A and B are shown apart, each in its own frame.
Chain A
Amino acid sequence: MTSGKIQKPRPHVGKAANPFANVQVPKVVPATPAIAPASDATVALSQDALTLLVQQALDKPISGQNSGSWGPFVAGYSLNLNVSGGAITLVDLGQQIRLDSVVVSGIINLSIGINLGAILPNICVPPSRACITLFGHQICTPQVCISWPTISVPLPPILVPPIGLSVNFQVAAQQDGSNWDVILKVFPFSILIDLTPTVNTVIDAVEAAVRNTLGQIPGIGSLIDDLVDGVLNALQAVIDTILGAVEDLLKQLIDLIDLFSPTVPFRITQIPATQKILPAGAPGDAEVDLTISSITPVIVTPTPPPPLPIPAPPPELVISVNFA
């Protein structure tokens, strides 16, 4: 069973290091270059402006914590992630927006508690009671059994190396009540985060803690190696599951970034469906409004006017508005 909580993003406090990519991204399907449809009005958004908008949405830390128990082991873990960077490329082929160079990095704090009594055998000293007859009374001396403690093993912080994310979005428009929203829908992507390199660190820390604990219990010196092995064997059986839970939380936190939510589209801009054209004048002279009947966002690469030999400007997001 697990329980925990995730905190919403807070103001940014740090920057990530250089990324390395380990993210799967969907293929972009090539399509015919688009042209802005005929419309009553258009709004253009540049690639740089969109990059700035996305960076503002990304550039903030995020944290979460959780815990779980696996037989004699309990684990508590907290994650602090920094998200930064991000550059938008508008792709008119396929009408997609590609986001590159997002860097996620952070620190995992993990502690493991072990109920040694649930793992180690019952050991009593002496193995059986020693009896003797004194003044006609047979008495037996005590047999003292070892109470195995529950220990907590704090682990050194585990660094989440900088992870480079690249994702693709579809741009779309949808009416939301009295407004029209231009939104980005993220294409499903999976993040491959592998914490198995930390297994040896965890096992070494647990071994040291168990050995230190058992070393303080008198009378079991010759048994300590076997007892430690027993604990490590039990840990080996669940360590992948414990780290998998940490990886799951990591994925949950990244999904919590607004831009990457697979269920909640990221809104670029919002346009009121009713546009005031002329204000109300004298009595009987009512306000003149126009109602937007449709909005079509299209990525367009502007064509330079011939015959000037200048390179084509970068694509723009052109929002075409039609009134009823």
Chain B
Amino acid sequence: MDTINSQSLMPQEAYYHAFTKPGTYNWGFMIKQKYVIQVQPLPGGQPNKQTIIQVTFQNGSFQIPANQTNLSIYTGDSVSWEIPSNAPGTPGYSIVGDNGQPVGSANYDNFSNRSLGIYDAFSHLFWTPGNYQYNVSGGAGGVQQGSISVLPRPSSVPPRTSPAVVVLNDGATPKPPNPDPVTFPAGTPNGTTVYTLDTVIWTIADGSKIVLQTQ
């Protein structure tokens, strides 16, 4: 069985953060470090885009490409942290960062996969079939529960072109994970079933300090 833990990212997982406030963000692995993301106001008429930071684990430490240690993006853009390989021996990791403003001030903004906030997302690629039960904790609604049934992928079912999406709404008006159990939308090519090698993405529509964990 796979283990899902949004606090400890593994190679088959990714953490996404959408940057809504301009500023200079410092970030790092486990703790805030030297890496920088410069967020500038989005020029008019320009679409948002995603920047992928590919993390590798070499010589006992996490590393990123040299040209991404000081990244420049626009408001509304998102950044995805992920490990591109399933190389054995890679430990779990977390991404932590903020824009350096006083905590609690109107301009303060931070991100952390250990504590998912609004518009953050977390994805997991399922390698192993099974019936998964998971908890959503930390939000206003107490511990919410969800489930996924992952079947072995038949050779006749090609890889999906989009992930299954689960919306978490655990803010002022908590709601259970939607959909539960996790399925692909009705009418999706090759059905609604989640198979191995499918990706499920959980996105936070409302709430903060959200943690996802398999039971």
Name the residue on A nearest B52 (C-beta): A140
* CA of A140 to CA of B80, assembled, Å: 8
- Given contacts A134-B203, A218-B128, A218-B196, whether A142 and B123 have CB atoms under 8 Å apart is yes
What does DSSP make chain B's interface, helix, strand, loop or mixed? loop
Are A222 and B162 in contact (CB-based, < 8 A)?
no
Name the residue on A nearest B205 (C-beta): A135
Are B80 and A139 in contact (CB-based, < 8 A)?
yes
Judged by a CB distance under 8 angstroms, whether B127 is at the interface is: yes
Q: Would you give the 0/1 interface string for A212-242, flagging 1 where the beta carbon is closer than 8 Å to chain B?
A: 0000011100100000000000000000000
Are B197 and A126 in contact (CB-based, < 8 A)?
yes
The 8 Å CB contact of B201, one of A125, A141, A219, is A141
Number of interface residues of B (CB under 8 A): 42
Q: Would you give the 0/1 interface string for B1-25, flagging 1 where the beta carbon is closer than 8 Å to chain A?
A: 0000000000111101010000000
- Given contacts A125-B197, A135-B203, whether A141 and B48 have CB atoms under 8 Å apart is no
Measured between beta carbons, the chain A residues less than 8 angstroms from B77 are 137
Residues facing A in B150-205 (CB within 8 A) are 153, 155, 159-163, 165, 196-197, 199, 201, 203, 205
Stretch with Cβ within 8 A of B (4 or more), from A145-153, A192-200, A293-301, A316-324: A145-153
Measured between beta carbons, the chain A residues less than 8 angstroms from B139 are none
* CA of A141 to CA of B125, assembled, Å: 9
Name the residue on A nearest B14 (C-beta): A142
Name the residue on A nearest B199 (C-beta): A141
Measured between beta carbons, the chain A residues less than 8 angstroms from B119 are 134-135, 137
The 8 Å CB contact of B160, one of A130, A134, A217, A222, is A130
**Can you show 24 pairs from A to B with CB atoms below 8 A apart?**
A127-B159, A128-B159, A130-B161, A130-B199, A135-B18, A137-B78, A137-B119, A138-B47, A138-B48, A138-B50, A139-B50, A139-B78, A139-B201, A142-B13, A142-B80, A142-B83, A144-B11, A144-B83, A145-B84, A147-B87, A217-B86, A218-B127, A218-B128, A219-B153
